[in-house]
Amino acid sequence: MRFGHKLAFAVAFLATSLTAGTPDAQVRNIIEYILTGDPYEKPPPAGNCRALIDRHGADAVWHGEFAGKQRDPVSDHYRSYFASGCFLSERACRIWQSRSMTALTGGLSIATRCHRPVPNWELR
């Protein structure tokens, strides 16, 4: 849905909600959801560590981690969000991290890192 359509829908929803006596906090949360998108968006895909190491060797593979909190616009609570994966360059890892932060839509970024070597828990 394009932003203009989202905005028109949000205004129509606001007008309807105000005349129906819907609580302000609930209206705000729903309009925020309409304008920002899916709050449960999944992290962007990352490479399979075992497959990349088998193909390119352990010295060529970078490991990325991202942890944060994702806000639920309906309940106003936060839930934990963690993603990890492997990449062939530090640059690819940093791009993935940036996309992971974007997927939070209003949440908090707690920790990110790109490093070598790949931790053993990713190789199981």
Question: What pLDDT is recorded for position 3?
Answer: 46
pLDDT at 81 over 60: yes
Higher-confidence residue of 119 and 102: namely 119
- 17 confidence band (pLDDT: 50, 70, 90): low
Question: DSSP for the chain?
Answer: --HHHHHHHHHHHHHHHHHHT--HHHHHHHHHHHHH--TTPPPPP-B-HHHHHHHH-GGG-EEEEEEEEEE-TTT--EEEEEEEEEESSHHHHHHHHHHHHHTTSS-EEEEEEEESSPPGGG--
